[in-house]
Amino acid sequence: MEAYAAPASPPTCVDKLSHQLFSLLESRFLGGWCPSGPGTPARALLDGGRVRVLAIDGCGAGAEDALLAAAALARLEAKLRDCTGDPDARVADFFDVAAGAGAGAVLAAMLFLRGADGRPRYSAQDALAFVAASVGGNGKGWGGGRRGPRWAKLFRGARGGADDRMFRRVFGDATLRDTVAPLLVPCYDLGTAAPFVFSRADAVESDSFDFRLRDVCAATCAAGGALACVRSVDGATAIAGASGGVAAMGNPAAAAITHVLHNKQEFPLATGVEDLLVLSIGAGTSATVVRDGSSTPMPTRSPSPRELARVTAEGVADMVDESVAMAFGHACGSSYVRIQASKAPAAHEAAAAAAGAMMLAQRNVESVLFRGRRLSERTNAEKVDALAAELVKEQERRRHSPLPNVAIKQVGTPRLSSATTASSGTGTARTASTMPSPASWESRR
């Protein structure tokens, strides 16, 4: 039998991280060196920055629900480019993990999709143009105007319908493995009557947990009684998907935080919320909490089942937001930033770009430790601008840290996780299929 030859260098980011950690421990701690204060090398050893999390809500199926998130992310990307001086900076460059449900999943998948050059395929401006075109806005090159794809069609969940064609154009044959960072997408599996979370961490371990991104988006967007039956790339796992909002996961922030704190392979130094920096983007709400000092008008009729489901999803999303805000405590506002529209303008009231700017100019109701809920002192736009500065600081801190706090799993080295019961030894790296550029969509319609 051929003798086993140890690799000359750690084969993965995870092994490299462990090698660096134990080398430092052996050379310093075991050599009698002991830390004495916040300015010692021990502090620098463990100060690799906070894990940066992006979570996008998925309540409702209207374009206004995605418009705030798209506008906020486009503004954030523009500020990041200004702060860094890099005209090609992308949102995905400054986040370690993304989670999205429903409309939020489509945006998260677009921003984290890896292109042929290894960089994020779409910019936040591309995502905003996609949403704007869907509501008949001025999203040039994405099929804008009267011929543009209606956003609601993406959520009806009928396989082979308009939603499937549009998702195919956006994502091609790319799978969960074809993302630049971990991606989490919740849905409700009617086959098991339980929530199911599509995860890149599991996809890199086994083809049985790797799904095409167009199918993932179809599963989490299926609403109004629609059903999306999707299968993994090897056909071994089948999901009868319904909207992530139905699964009480319309706000995926808690799921993303839980994933980071329990995924010690990819986030070994994250032990509590103090090690996280979270941006949670909500959807446009159907009711106004504060409106020029006047009270909310009383309803004149009983809500329809669709309206009732929407209100329920919004209530669940608010409950998740309040729970997460309480967990962050006094760090809420600096380590946990929530963007939420207090009133979403109807599509006919303004153009998409103007509607997005209108929601960014609003102040949302936020949870404050020991003080309940109150109207935020900052607008959504001001929160985005402040967060951009924090993200740049975290990027610089990470560059100067001798020990990285994030070690993303590589496709070619499958490992077993707590969420996976089967593993695969496949070592073939996947690359995203060739997809049409935004400018070529109109000619392909």
CA dist 411 and 279 (Å) reads 27
Contact 362/68 with Cβ under 8 angstroms? Answer: no
Which positions ≥6 away from 347 have C-beta within 8 Å?
62, 63, 64, 135, 136, 355
CA 380 to chain centre: 18
Residue from 276, 269, 278 nearest 402 by CA:
269
CA 355 to chain centre: 22
Q: Is residue 278 part of a domain?
A: yes
Domain that holds residue 85: 51-136+166-185+249-287+304-400
Q: Is residue 408 part of a domain?
A: no
Place of tokens 């002192």: 377
Residue from 198, 204, 202, 201 nearest 184 by CA:
198
DSSP reduced 3-state for 51: strand
Predicted pLDDT at 188: 85
Compute the 3-state secondary structure of the chain and give helix, strand, coil in percent, each to the nearest 5: 40, 15, 45
For 186, what's the count of Cα atoms within 13 Å in the CB-facing half-sphere? 25
Q: Is residue 14 part of a domain?
A: no
Exposure string (b/e) for 265-285, b if CB count within 10 Å is 16 or more?
bbbbbbeebebbbbbbbbbbb
Exposed / middle / buried, residue 426 (Cβ in 10 Å: 0-12, 13-18, 19+):
middle
CA dist 430 and 284 (Å) reads 36
CATH of the domain at 181: 3.40.1090.10
Q: What are phi and psi of 221, to 5 degrees?
A: -95, -10
Q: Is residue 215 part of a domain?
A: no
Q: Is residue 8 part of a domain?
A: no
Which positions ≥6 away from 25 have C-beta within 8 Å?
none
Which positions ≥6 away from 193 have C-beta within 8 Å?
none
Q: Beta partners for 332?
A: 336
**Greatest pairwise CA separation for the chain in angstroms:** 82
Other beta carbons within 10 Å of 291 = 12
Q: Is residue 70 part of a domain?
A: yes
- Tens digit of pLDDT at every position of the chain (445 positions): 444 444 444 445 555 655 555 554 444 444 444 443 444 344 444 566 899 999 999 865 555 668 889 999 999 999 999 999 999 999 999 999 999 998 899 999 999 999 999 999 999 999 998 888 776 544 444 444 444 445 555 554 444 444 577 888 899 999 999 999 999 999 888 888 888 999 999 999 999 999 999 999 888 887 655 677 899 999 999 998 876 555 456 789 999 999 999 999 899 889 899 999 999 998 765 443 433 444 455 566 777 666 666 666 777 788 888 889 888 988 888 899 999 887 666 544 457 778 888 889 998 888 777 777 788 889 999 999 999 999 999 998 888 877 777 888 877 544 444 333 333 333 333 433 344 455 544 444 4
Q: How many domains does the structure of the chain reveal?
A: 1
Q: Is residue 204 part of a domain?
A: no
Predicted pLDDT at 6: 45
Exposure string (b/e) for 301-318, b if CB count within 10 Å is 16 or more?
eeeeeeeebbbbbbebbb
Q: Is residue 281 part of a domain?
A: yes
Amino acid at 26: E
